[in-house]
Amino acid sequence: MKKEIFIAGGCFWGVEAYFSRVLGIEKAESFYINGGFEGVTYKEVCTTTKHAEAVKIIYEDSQISEEIIWNLYLNIVDPYSLNKQGNDIGTQYRVGIYSNDEELLDKYKKLNSQFVKKENKNNFLEFLPVYDQTKAEEYHQKYLEKNPLGYCHINLYSIPKELLKEEYKKNIN
């Protein structure tokens, strides 16, 4: 069954590029979410709103599990950093998982509870419904494909080979 979540993990360029390479992820697109209204622009997000930069991920749960997505997510974020990932600082760079599917959101909350228990440390991850969403401007979509030297705090080569889509395996030794 197709499922949809929004993942916030700092700048959405790297999160989108990372998850778009993973088997079972059908689509990854950059959005602004949960700022109180729709129709927001990048300039507004950077200066006057409370929106998060997030990536809408559509996946097939028969091909990839929530546990794998969760572990990949933890591979690219610092859950203990408040409103900061890499060199990016501000509320738009907060970390969290968002969905209007309450059962799905509960799965991710449970995975976080297990993680917190294992690490014996609380984190700043949000787990909330999606209150509003605006697709980011076209120049933000697939940004790192269009700008391969663009800044990214995420190691795009840290995806295990068995989880990579075929077109990305050719770049791995």
Structural domains of the chain ordered from first start? 2-163 (3.30.1060.10)
Catalytic: 11?
A: yes
CB 150 within 8 A of CB 144: yes
In this prediction, residue 170 carries a pLDDT of 78
Q: How far is CA 147 from CA 42, 140, 144, 152, in A?
A: 18, 10, 5, 11
In this prediction, residue 10 carries a pLDDT of 94
Catalytic residue among 5, 7, 11, 57: 11
In this prediction, residue 173 carries a pLDDT of 60
In this prediction, residue 168 carries a pLDDT of 87
Listed as ranges, residues in the chain with pLDDT below 50 are none
Q: Give CA–CA dist 158/155, Å, rounded.
A: 6
